[in-house]
């Protein structure tokens, strides 16, 4: 599949497929993407009814926002029914929970080969278990494989905390090594990377702080649980005015006739190389994509 076409994923809201009220809100929200959730947000006795709602949700989909479906694990009792229902809705992506090996992705890829428009369907992998982190390099390599639909990693921090037994501590200190491992792997595999959720949705200051930290760590966006988190995430994962001004200055400097053939130049007393130009161009493209 063509993995080059990328949209901004600053704010990605989970919407439980068990909540009619929440589902009805999707069209009014300013998030970059929505993950309609059939997994952890939906109680076992509600799984079938939640799945049956997907078709109506997708028939009313707003076209400005990317829409994904998180299914239950394919190894469990609901996964295959979820997958069939999701495929029928032609979402932008299917989010696979509890991915632990590259084989998990390959099996999902195989299952999608018979979808009506298989090339338009991406796979996003939740990284949320100790085993996923052990195997993350091999999983990420599928991002470079044109035959795989893997385009994005989604950090599942609540499950990671549960499975490891850690207490993350202030500013998620003990989670940081694993989050940075995800950053490295995602970049090695050319994948987008979304941070985990911030549970305390009434704490706007704490949320903004966590977004700023995640943006500095290299995450492309954050998964969200509540509409009140959208605006702050959009802001935090958009290029700042200062960063944009610097990127423009670098692009302008290399465009000057005397610098066209130079590999390295001085700009305001600092060394600037063509790798910085590439970085600046990437930032300018991102700004254009989010309308900054």
Measure CA 195 to chain center.
7
The sign of the dihedral angle between the CA atoms of 177, 183, 186, 187 is: negative
Q: How many CB atoms lie within 10 A of CB 241?
A: 10
Residue placing its CB nearer to Mg ion in the complex, 105 or 283: 105
- Residue 227 near ligand COA by CB under 6 A: yes
Pinpoint the alpha helices (H) of the chain.
Answer: 20-24, 47-59, 79-88, 102-112, 130-134, 136-141, 157-164, 176-188, 204-217, 230-236, 241-255, 274-290
Q: Select from ligand COA, Mg ion, none the partner in contact with residue 14, using the beta carbon and a kind-dependent cut-off of 5 to 8 Å.
A: ligand COA
- Residue 189 near ligand COA by CB under 6 A: no
Taking a C-beta distance cutoff of 8 angstroms, is the pair 9, 17 a contact? Answer: no
Q: Select from Mg ion, ligand COA, none the partner in contact with residue 227, using the beta carbon and a kind-dependent cut-off of 5 to 8 Å.
A: ligand COA
Which residue ranges make up the site for Mg ion (CB under 5 A)?
128, 156, 159
Q: How many CB atoms lie within 10 A of CB 101?
A: 14
Which segment (34-42, 94-102, 178-186, 279-287) binds ligand COA by CB under 6 A? 34-42
- Residue 262 near ligand COA by CB under 6 A: no
Sole binder of ligand COA in the list 25, 144, 256, 262 (CB under 6 A): 25
Q: Select from ligand COA, Mg ion, none the partner in contact with residue 159, using the beta carbon and a kind-dependent cut-off of 5 to 8 Å.
A: Mg ion
The nearest distance, CB 284 to ligand COA, in angstroms, is 32
């Amino acid at each position: 599949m063509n993995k080059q076409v990328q949209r901004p994923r600053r704010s990605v809201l989970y919407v439980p497929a068990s909540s009619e009220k929440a589902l009805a809100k999707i069209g009014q929200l300013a998030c970059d993407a929505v993950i309609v959730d059939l997994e952890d947000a939906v109680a076992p006795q509600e799984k079938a009814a939640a799945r049956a709602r997907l078709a109506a949700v997708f028939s009313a989909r707003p076209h400005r926002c990317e829409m994904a479906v998180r299914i239950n694990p394919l190894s469990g009792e609901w996964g295959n029914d979820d997958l069939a229902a999701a495929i029928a809705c032609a979402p932008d992506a299917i989010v696979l929970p509890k991915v632990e090996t590259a084989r998990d992705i390959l099996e999902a890829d195989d299952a999608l080969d018979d979808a009506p428009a298989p090339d338009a369907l991406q796979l996003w992998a939740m990284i949320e278990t100790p085993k996923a982190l052990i195997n993350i390099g091999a999983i990420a390599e599928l991002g470079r494989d044109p035959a795989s639909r893997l385009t994005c990693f989604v950090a599942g921090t609540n499950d990671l905390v549960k499975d490891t037994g850690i207490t993350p501590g202030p500013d998620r200190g003990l989670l940081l090594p694993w989050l940075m491992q995800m950053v490295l792997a995602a970049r090695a595999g050319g994948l987008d990377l979304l941070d985990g959720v911030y549970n305390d949705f009434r704490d706007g200051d704490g949320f903004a702080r966590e977004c700023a930290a995640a943006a500095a760590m290299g995450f492309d966006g954050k998964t969200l649980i509540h509409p009140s988190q959208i605006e702050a995430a959009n802001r935090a994962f958009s290029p700042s005015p200062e960063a944009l001004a610097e990127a423009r200055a670098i692009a302008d400097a290399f465009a000057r006739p005397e610098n066209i053939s130079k590999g390295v130049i001085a700009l305001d007393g600092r060394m600037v190389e063509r790798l910085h130009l590439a970085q600046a161009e990437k930032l300018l493209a991102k700004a254009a994509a989010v309308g900054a």
